[in-house]
């Protein structure tokens, strides 16, 4: 029977280590968190799960002391405004908005409901936050630091193939901060003796014409700048890049998991897990405008060797040693 006592002690220890569930507020009302995604539900799923995991880690149990209401724009940025309006009318207590367009749509609908932003390239340059230390207004959250990472992404592409001299950069006007990221990419490329050819992708239907432009411009590599449209259409981008045998750099490892060559950036699931901490602080009374915007401190390089072989590329040992994960 000694083993039964050991099991009981283990269960007690595990329960003691589990974060206590937050109680419903004193009025008995269960807080409501709205989540605004620019993606389809299938694309958003891993990030949604990460957000929910983060909420559980800080003590929330859906249906008991928290209600989560999600809305998906399915890649149509025009729908974001109506979805944001729907959440605001539903009187949610906090809105988690993923991407710059989603945050801007939410801000257009409310300046009183707190907004926790994720997947933002530069909240200050985008006019969303007054500063990182004190964002002001009703918005706070996490920045992806994309402008600062542009140089590293281009340098990694050059390391894949030192003969690359002309690289294309896909951008979309749907993300207002694209100019900042594009400038960072161009500056980094010049320092490495490379030229950047910016190519605008006009909505989900513009990929075929954008890849046709790549052929005309005779580029030898591609950088896909962060954008909700590209994330929602990532399978088609990966397919067309493979057809043209273009080494392509992405901003998120999920695109490498799907067959892209390589990515460098912060963990998107980790960012959404961390967003739960902001939600918790706000529900407990913190003012969003006084909560400093957080920036990631850890970045991961992921390389897909199967894709590299299909493109006829040999990845150097030094680059493989830099990688946080190599997919065989």
Q: What is the pLDDT along the chain (328 residues), one digit of tens a residue?
A: 444 444 444 444 444 444 455 555 555 789 999 999 999 999 999 999 999 999 999 999 999 999 999 999 998 878 999 999 999 999 899 999 999 899 999 999 999 999 999 998 889 988 899 999 999 999 999 998 766 788 889 999 999 999 999 999 998 877 666 777 888 888 888 889 999 999 999 876 789 999 999 999 999 999 998 888 888 889 999 999 999 999 999 999 999 999 999 999 999 999 999 999 999 999 999 999 999 999 988 899 999 999 999 999 999 999 999 999 999 8
Region class of 197: left (phi > 0), else alpha (psi between -120 and 50), else beta: beta
pLDDT of residue 177: 67
The answer on 169 and 92 residing in a single domain is: no
Give the model's pLDDT for residue 226: 85
Structure tokens that stand for 132 in this block: 């990182």
Q: Are 291 and 281 in contact (CB under 8 A)?
A: yes
Residues 201 and 313 both lie in one domain: yes
**Are residues 308 and 280 part of one domain?**
no
Q: Is residue 20 in some structural domain?
A: no
**Is 35 within the bounds of a domain?**
yes
pLDDT of residue 147: 67
- Same domain? For 94 and 187 the reply is no
Q: Structure pTM?
A: 0.87
Residue 295 is assigned to a structural domain of this protein: no
Please classify residue 67 by burial: count the beta carbons closer than 10 Å to its beta carbon, then call 0-12 exposed, 13-18 middle and 19+ buried: middle
Q: Cα(5)–Cα(38) distance, rounded to whole angstroms?
A: 51
Q: What is the 3-state secondary structure (H, E, C) of 266-326?
A: CCHHHHHHHHHHHHHHHHCCCCHHHCCCECCCCCEEEEEHHHHHHCCCCCCHHHHHHCCEE
152 lies in the same domain as 257: yes
185 in a structural domain? yes
Cα–Cα distance between 264 and 249 in angstroms, integer?
8
205 and 120 in one domain? no
E strands, 32-146, in order: 32-37, 67-72, 94-98, 115-120, 139-143
Whether 50 maps to a domain, the answer reads yes
Looking at the structure, do residues 221 and 281 belong to the same domain, yes or no? Answer: no
β-strand pairing of 248-250 with 325-327: unpaired
At 126, which CATH number?
A: 3.40.50.2300
For residues 281 and 308, membership in a common domain is answered with no
Same domain, 45 and 115: yes
Q: Specify if 126 maps to a domain.
A: yes
Q: What is the extent of the structural domain holding 94? A: 29-145+268-290
CA distances from residue 187 to 114, 150, 169, 192 in whole angstroms, order as listed: 36, 9, 13, 9
Pair (94, 242) in one structural domain: no
Q: Count structural domains, the chain.
A: 2
Whether residue 174 sits in one domain with residue 70 = no
Residue 13 inside a domain? The answer is: no
pLDDT for the residue 10: 45
Indicate whether 322 and 207 sit together in one domain: yes
Q: Name residues whose C-beta falls within 8 Å of residue 162's C-beta, 6 or more positions apart in sequence.
A: none
16 domain residue, yes or no: no
């Amino acid at each position: 029977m000694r083993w039964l006592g050991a099991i009981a002690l283990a269960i007690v220890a595990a329960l003691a280590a589990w974060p206590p569930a937050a109680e419903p507020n004193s009025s008995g009302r269960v807080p409501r968190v709205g989540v605004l995604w620019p993606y389809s539900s299938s694309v958003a799923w891993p990030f949604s799960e990460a957000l929910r995991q983060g909420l559980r880690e800080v003590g929330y149990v859906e249906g008991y002391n928290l209600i989560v209401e999600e809305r998906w724009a399915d890649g149509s940025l025009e729908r974001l405004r109506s979805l944001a309006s729907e959440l605001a009318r539903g009187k949610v207590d906090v809105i988690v908005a993923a991407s710059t367009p989603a945050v801007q749509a939410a801000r257009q609908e409310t300046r009183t409901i707190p907004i926790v932003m994720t997947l933002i390239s530069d909240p200050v340059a985008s006019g969303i936050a007054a500063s990182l230390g004190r964002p002001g207004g009703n918005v706070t959250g996490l920045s992806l630091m994309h402008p600062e990472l542009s140089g590293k992404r281009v340098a990694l592409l050059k390391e894949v193939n030192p003969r690359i001299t002309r690289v294309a950069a896909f951008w979309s006007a749907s993300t207002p901060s694209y100019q900042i990221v594009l400038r960072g990419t161009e500056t980094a490329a010049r320092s490495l003796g490379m030229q950047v050819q910016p190519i605008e992708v006009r909505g989900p239907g513009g990929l075929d014409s954008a890849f046709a432009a790549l052929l005309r411009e005779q580029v030898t590599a591609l950088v896909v700048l962060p954008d909700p449209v590209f994330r929602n259409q990532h399978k088609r981008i990966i397919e067309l890049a493979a057809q043209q045998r273009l080494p392509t750099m992405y901003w998120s490892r999920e695109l490498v998991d799907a067959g892209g060559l390589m990515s460098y950036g912060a963990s998107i699931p980790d960012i959404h897990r961390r967003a739960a901490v902001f939600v918790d602080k706000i529900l407990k009374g913190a003012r969003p405008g006084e909560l400093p915007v957080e920036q990631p401190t850890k970045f991961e390089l992921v390389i897909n060797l199967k894709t590299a072989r299909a493109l006829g590329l040999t990845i150097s040992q030094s680059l493989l040693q830099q990688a946080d994960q190599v997919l065989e």
